[in-house]
Amino acid sequence: MSSFFRLSGIFILMACSFLLAGCATGPVFTEAKSSHPDRAILYIFRRASFYGIGVVPDVYVSSQKIVTLKTGGYTWVELEPGSHQIDVPHQYPELECLDLIVQGGNSYYAIYGFQDRTTFMEAAFGTPRVVPFLRHMSSPWGVRDTHFQEPDVSYVPVASKDPVCSWERKKFEAVAEQAECGGAKEQHALVKAYLEGASTHPDKVQAYKWLRIMKAKLQKERQGFSWTGKLGAPSGKEGKKIRWVEKKMGELGAILTSAQVTEGERLAREWRPAEWCE
C-alpha cells in the first residue's frame, strides 16, 4: 500500500508543476516528540491525490492558523489538553469543522482531502462533483507517506471561547444581515443563535435586544393587544410567536443583571433597519 502512495506521489508532483499548485516537498513523515509531557500532539495531513489538487487551504485550530496545507503534506502542533476545533475555511458548505477533546501525552490525527461525489446523472452530463472532507483518524495510516510542512505556530492553548466553524459564521452573517433589514424569521433565528451559541458565541444581551425588537414589532402589528397573554390573545402561529417571545424574555429577565437588561433595552431602542436595506 505504501508503494502505491509513493508512485501516486510522483505523478501528482508532476501534475503540480503543470497546475502551479503547491505540493509538499519537505522531509517524509517522522513521529514528533512533545516538548511537554502534559500536552497532546495533533497531526494534520493531506494524502497525495489528484482531487482538489489546485486547492491549497488554510487550516485553523482553535481559531489560530496552523498551516496552508499542500497536497501530500502534513504538519503537527502541540495542544493544551481540553476541547479544540479544527476548521478549514472553504466555499463548500458540506465541509464541517471537526471537534476534538484531547488528553495530554496522546497523539491525534486529522485528515483533509477531496472525494468524488459525482452521481451517474452528473457524470452523464459532464458535471463532476468533487467535495472536500475533514475527518478524525484513530491511527496514522496514510500520514506516513506525506511530507512535512513547517507550522505557523507550534503550540495552541484551549480557546477562551468555543471556536465557530467558518461556514457556520458565513451562515450566521447572512441571517444577521436580513435581521438588520427587519426580517421577522431572521430575527427569530438570530435570537436562537445568540441563546444557544449556534453559529456564533452566546450573547444573552444581544438575544434580549432582538427579543425586545420582536416584541415591539408584534405590539405594533397587534394594536390594543394585551401582552398578559390573557383576554384578546391571538391564536395560531401569531399567538405561538408572541408566547415564545414572552417566555424567552421572562427567562432572560431572571438571569440577566439589571445593567444587562438596561443595555439590551437601549440597544433595542436605538435599532433602526440598516441603511443598505432595499
Residue after which a domain boundary falls, among 160, 190, 214: 160
Residue 140 Cα to chain centre, angstroms: 25
- Give CA–CA dist 244/137, Å, rounded: 42
| CB crowding 223-255: b at 16 or more within 10 Å, else e | eebeeeeeeeeeeeeeeeebeebbebbeebeee
| CB crowding 178-212: b at 16 or more within 10 Å, else e | bbbeebeebbbbbbebbbeeebbeeeebbbbbbbb
Give me the count of residues in the chain: 278
153, 75: one domain:
yes
State the residue range of the domain holding 259: 168-270
Residue after which a domain boundary falls, among 160, 190, 218: 160
- Give CA–CA dist 187/177, Å, rounded: 10
Residue after which a domain boundary falls, among 133, 160, 187: 160
Residue 78 Cα to chain centre, angstroms: 21
- Give CA–CA dist 113/230, Å, rounded: 57
Sign of the CA dihedral with 93 first, then 95, 101, and 103 last: negative
- What's the pTM? 0.60
- Total number of domains in the chain: 2
Residue 94 and residue 131 in contact, taking contact as beta carbons nearer than 8 Å: yes
176, 105: one domain:
no
pLDDT per position in the chain (278 positions), as tens? 445 444 455 544 455 544 445 688 899 999 999 899 999 999 999 998 888 888 899 999 988 999 999 999 999 999 999 889 899 887 666 677 888 889 999 999 999 998 887 787 777 777 777 788 888 888 888 888 899 999 999 999 987 666 677 767 777 888 888 999 988 899 999 998 888 766 677 789 999 999 999 998 888 877 655 544 443 455 567 778 888 999 999 999 999 999 999 999 999 999 998 877 76
Burial of 60 (0-12, 13-18, 19+ CB in 10 A): buried
150, 175: one domain:
no
